[in-house]
Amino acid sequence: MYRSGTVMAWNVFKFCTALRGLGSIMILLVLGVVGVTYYAVVITNYGPALYDGGLYSLTAFAVLILFHCLLGMLLWSYFSVVFTDPGSVPPNWKPALDEERGDTDPLTGSEFGGLPADQANPRIRYCRKCNQLKPPRCHHCSVCGRCVLKMDHHCVWVVNCVGALNYKYFLLFLFYTFLETGLVTLSLLPHFIAFFSDSDEEIPETAGNLATTFLAFVLNLAFALSVLGFLIMHISLVSANTTTIEAYEKKTTPKWRYDLGQKRNFEQVFGMDRRYWFIPTYSEEDIRRMPALQGFEYPSKPDLDAQEF
């Protein structure tokens, strides 16, 4: 009986690892939705409307400008999440102090004693899969097969873990996706209504254009509603300085030890330079103090360049 349970657990982790194979498919799916939306909005409906003249041309111009700006920010944020390492544990990392316990005295080598840390000192976290110590708020991802700093979750849509160093980009991806899909839904709504009405308003002439407009409206409406829920959830997590994984733990803790107040909680994710809050990058100053902003410190010199993060 124990043997079968072990096999089942192993098969589950094998299935998680196999999820990496979805990477190219999910990226192509996202680009496919973007392509269908672009064709429906720009090629089929609002692009030709630029030549109609009058107020409708002005409206079409405004919609196209806003559409392309939001699309550019969406894709920039998306690929920033995809290609940014969420944060891994530095080799041979050891804590300068027992942060889990709140001690101020540095840990000495004798406290480790050559044993796994969870045996030598149960308050120091140790990953049995990676065979290394784990900093506070670090979790092992079964899909990526490694420990991730301040891990929030593994997202199949971005084919990457969402962690300390790309959480801001993930939130901006949700934010611009909601704005873009909301804009597309509203801009295609008159064409969608005209499709089911008996009015004489012009609608796309070919069956292909009709199908593309209908599909784009339904897809963007569905994404706008679903992303809104995720966005609200993550805003509440950021305001409390917690992650999706830590959400349950926070509910069972009288006072959440990482809550620094809403302003500082926000700055831990988005940085302290307001000019960079809504773009998927950090200022040089924020990069230099990134370890402190994210709530952990690397055992390295303070003046680090972006490549070391």
Residue written as tokens 């079964």? Answer: 142
User: Minimal CA–CA distance to 161: which of 20, 40, 277?
Assistant: 20
Give how far Cα 19 sits from Cα of 13, 14, 144, 152, 180, Å: 10, 9, 9, 17, 28
The one-character DSSP state at 106 is B
Cα torsion through 253, 226, 182, 268, rounded to 10: 30
Catalytic residue among 127, 138, 147, 155: 155
> Got the DSSP string for 22-83?
GHHHHHHHHHHHHHHHHIIIIIIIIHHHTTS-HHHHHHHHHHHHHHHHHHHHHHHHHHHHHH
CB distance 178 to 231 below 8 Å: yes
Give how far Cα 214 sits from Cα of 35, 192, 252, Å: 14, 6, 46
d(CA 209, CA 203): 9
- 155 given a catalytic annotation: yes
Give how far Cα 17 sits from Cα of 156, 170, 236, 250, Å: 12, 22, 30, 28
Give how far Cα 86 sits from Cα of 37, 78, 165, 203, 236, Å: 29, 14, 5, 46, 21
CB distance 130 to 145 below 8 Å: no
Catalytic residues: 155
